[in-house]
Each structure stands twice: as C-alpha cells, then as structure tokens.
C-alpha cells in the first residue's frame, strides 16, 4: 500500500492567460485542473499589474525617471479576468479559487495601483519588485549583473525592497524576496546569503513590523531554513507558498521541499488549508 501523500498548502501565486508575460502558454482552466489533480486546496491567480506610465498619486511622477522597463507590459483586463475567475469557480467547485494581483513597484505607482484595485474585488494582493532605477530609468534588476558586481546588485535590490515595504501599504504578501537571485551569474561563485544577512534582515524587520506575510517562492532559488529563521527572529509570523507558475505544469512545483523548509523553520499549517502558515 502506497504511503499517503502529505496535504499540500495553497498555491498563492499563479499567473494565467491574463498576465501579459504568459504569452499564450497559460490557461486558468488548465491550471485549476492541475491543482485538483495534485490535491492543492486553493489557488490564487495573482495577475501582473505593472505600469509603463505614471498617473496622479504616483511617486515616480515627481522624479523624472523613465518607466516602461519591459515592452511586453500590458494593462490587466480586470473585467475579463474576474469573469474567468467566476467561470472557474463554477467548473471546479472542490477547489477554492482566489482572485488577486501581483503589484510591481507599488511604492512608485500607488495612485495607478489604487485605481486598478478599485476596479474589482481581489482576495490577495502581492507586492513585488522587478525593476530598479539605473541611469534615470526603471531597468530590470537582473540586467544590472552586466554592469555591477553581483553582490552590489543584490544590496541595491534588497535596499529598494525595504523602501517598498516602508512606503506601500497596498499589499499583504511580499513576493520573491530576492528576485534577481534567479539570475545569479554562474561565474560569481556560490550565492553569499550569509554575507547579505544584514540586508535581508532590514527587509524582514520592516515587513514583520507591518504584520504582513513573506512568500516562499518556488520558482526562485528556494528560501533556506536560515532565512526563514531570520524572518521569525525579526518578528515574522506568517508565510505563504507561491509557485509563480506561468504554465499549468508548474502549479505547486517543489511544494513538498518548500513545506519541509517551512516546518524546519517552525511554521505550520492552520485549520484552514487555504490560509497562510504561521508560527
């Protein structure tokens, strides 16, 4: 008799066809079907919300910084997206399906983001940083590995994430804490997590003091037990799990490994299987 598989947590970071960077590869229906097959209790479709221009209430508007760091960025069709959510809730009654967005650079685009959030009802809002200001314009943070020392890129990135947390209250969960690490140069040697402890703790302290949630992103290099212990030591009390899936096959990817890391750091599931894990 095969051993019973452990119950997986909710996947709180999934992108469907409504995110501009899935390029026709994703399907909300297919991703729901995959979640059901895996026994995932809930999925949150947190579609990208990024901005190529600034509007009223956007802090970046007073800086003169050029926006539009990627020409693929498109506005979220809130009406179409929410209709798709309702369709999937009808088709998959056993799966809890949450609406949501992943807000890029929310501290720079507060006014524009508020307008999107006012256009619909969203269960989850993630905050994320993809771009940094470089030579007067927003630039994909990973591209800075070509012009700066790798450790300097990460220090600049984490410092800006700390500013993002301090300056934006629009999101509940911080997504992919160290996003550029996905592209750490192979020739730069092992990633120096311990050497960046002070930089990480500055972000974690700010996030914990606001009572928000840290995401364990399984598309990025996996968070270590040590990093999650830093989170607890700084006052962090909750984590979410996010595959950052852009195709159905990646829903809940590497979740068993992520669960083992979270448990080793002292986090555990609650009564509601779709809720965050807490310590």
pLDDT at residue 2 greater than cutoff 60: no
Q: How far apart are CA 52 and CA 39, in angstroms?
A: 38
Instruction: Enumerate residues 6+ apart whose C-beta is below 8 A from 207.
Output: 165, 174, 214, 234, 236
Cβ neighbours around 77 below 10 Å, total: 12
What is the mean predicted confidence (pLDDT) over 17-35? Answer: 98
Where are the domains positioned within the chain?
A: 11-278
pLDDT at residue 139 greater than cutoff 90: yes
β-strand 124-128 against 42-49: which pairing, if any?
Answer: unpaired
Three-point CA angle 123, 127, 129, nearest 5°: 155
Backbone angles phi, psi at 99, to 5 degrees: -85, 160
Mean pLDDT for the chain?
Answer: 96
Question: Running DSSP on this structure, what letter comes out for residue 2?
Answer: P
Contact 105, 63 (CB under 8 A): no
pLDDT at residue 196, as a whole number: 98
Contact 2, 29 (CB under 8 A): no
Model confidence at 270, pLDDT cuts 50, 70, 90, reads: confident
Q: What class has domain 11-278?
A: alpha beta
What is the mean predicted confidence (pLDDT) over 145-162? Answer: 98
pLDDT at residue 7, as a whole number: 85
Q: How far apart are CA 246 and CA 119, in angstroms?
A: 24
What is the mean predicted confidence (pLDDT) over 153-163? Answer: 98
What is the mean predicted confidence (pLDDT) over 181-202? Answer: 98
Contact 279, 255 (CB under 8 A): no
pLDDT at residue 45 greater than cutoff 90: yes
CA-closest candidate to residue 98, choices 90, 106, 89:
89
If phi > 0 it is left, if psi is from -120 to 50 it is alpha, else beta; for residue 191 that is: beta
What is the mean predicted confidence (pLDDT) over 70-74? Answer: 97
What percentage of the chain carries pLDDT values higher than 90? 97
pLDDT at residue 132 greater than cutoff 80: yes
pLDDT at residue 35 greater than cutoff 50: yes
What is the mean predicted confidence (pLDDT) over 201-206? Answer: 98
What is the mean predicted confidence (pLDDT) over 31-45? Answer: 98
pLDDT at residue 236, as a whole number: 98
Model confidence at 1, pLDDT cuts 50, 70, 90, reads: very low
Contact 240, 276 (CB under 8 A): yes
Q: Provide the whole-model pTM.
A: 0.96
pLDDT at residue 90 greater than cutoff 50: yes
Contact 162, 200 (CB under 8 A): no
CA-closest candidate to residue 196, choices 245, 235, 230:
230
């Amino acid at each position: 008799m095969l051993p019973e598989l452990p119950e997986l947590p909710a996947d709180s970071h999934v992108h469907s066809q409504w995110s501009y960077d899935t390029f026709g590869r994703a399907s909300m229906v297919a991703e729901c079907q995959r979640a059901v097959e895996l026994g995932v209790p809930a999925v949150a479709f947190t579609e990208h919300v990024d901005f190529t221009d600034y509007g009223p209430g956007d802090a970046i508007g007073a800086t003169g910084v050029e926006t539009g760091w990627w020409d693929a960025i498109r506005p979220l069709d809130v009406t179409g997206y929410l209709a798709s959510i309702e369709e999937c809730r009808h088709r998959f009654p056993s799966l809890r399906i949450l609406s949501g967005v992943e807000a890029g650079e929310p501290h720079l685009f507060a006014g524009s983001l508020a307008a999107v959030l006012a256009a619909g009802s969203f269960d989850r809002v993630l905050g994320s940083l993809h771009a940094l200001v470089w030579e007067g314009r927003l630039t994909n943070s990973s591209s800075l590995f070509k012009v700066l020392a790798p450790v300097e890129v990460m220090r600049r990135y984490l410092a800006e994430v700390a500013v993002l947390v301090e300056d934006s209250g629009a999101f509940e969960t911080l997504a992919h804490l160290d996003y550029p690490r996905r592209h750490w140069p192979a020739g730069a040697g092992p990633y120096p997590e311990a050497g960046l402890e002070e930089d990480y703790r500055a972000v974690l302290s700010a996030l914990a003091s606001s009572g928000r949630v840290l995401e364990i992103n399984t598309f990025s290099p996996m968070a270590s037990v040590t990093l999650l212990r830093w989170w607890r030591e700084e006052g962090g009390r909750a984590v979410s799990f996010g595959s950052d899936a852009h195709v159905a096959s990646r829903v809940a990817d590497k979740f068993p490994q992520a669960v083992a890391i979270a448990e080793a750091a002292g986090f555990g599931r609650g009564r509601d299987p779709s809720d965050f894990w807490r310590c």
